[in-house]
């Protein structure tokens, strides 16, 4: 379950092109599977400035609490408000309705520097 049209990080986030030069960010199927049942997500407010590789929130499961990392630098333009009441959507639809935030990217070329589906597949299979 590694969609070919997305980019990935070694921290198991995915990145997809969104409207207006923004990107949509979520965690991968691999990550949600490793976490187990997700019970809480803490996300930044719209307007927050994030730096690539730096924490932007937390995700809590029945197993652990993990930090979420910004895959690119920019400004949060939206967050998935559905997750406040139903964080388990991340488990059932990590690449769709379980997205986390949208980021207006400071440098669009940064997305090209992220892992391809093949590179992410190699990372998770090793």
Contacts of 20 by beta carbon, 8 Å cutoff, 6+ apart: 77, 104
pTM of the model: 0.94
Q: What is the pLDDT of residues 13-70, one digit of tens each?
A: 999 998 888 999 999 999 999 999 999 999 999 999 999 999 999 999 999 999 999 9
Between CA 25 and CA 33, with CA 27 as vertex, the angle to 5 degrees is 165
């Amino acid at each position: 379950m590694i969609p070919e049209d997305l980019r990935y990080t070694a921290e198991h986030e995915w990145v997809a092109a969104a409207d207006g030069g923004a990107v949509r960010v979520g965690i991968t199927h691999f990550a949600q599977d490793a976490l187990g049942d997700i019970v809480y997500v803490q996300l930044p407010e719209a307007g927050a400035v994030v730096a690539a590789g730096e924490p932007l929130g937390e995700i809590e499961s029945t197993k652990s609490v993990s930090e979420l990392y910004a895959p690119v630098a920019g400004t949060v333009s939206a967050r998935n408000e559905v997750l406040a009441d139903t964080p388990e959507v991340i488990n059932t639809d990590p690449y769709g309705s379980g997205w986390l935030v949208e980021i207006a990217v400071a440098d669009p070329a940064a997305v090209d520097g992220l892992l391809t589906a093949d590179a992410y597949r190699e990372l998770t299979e090793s």
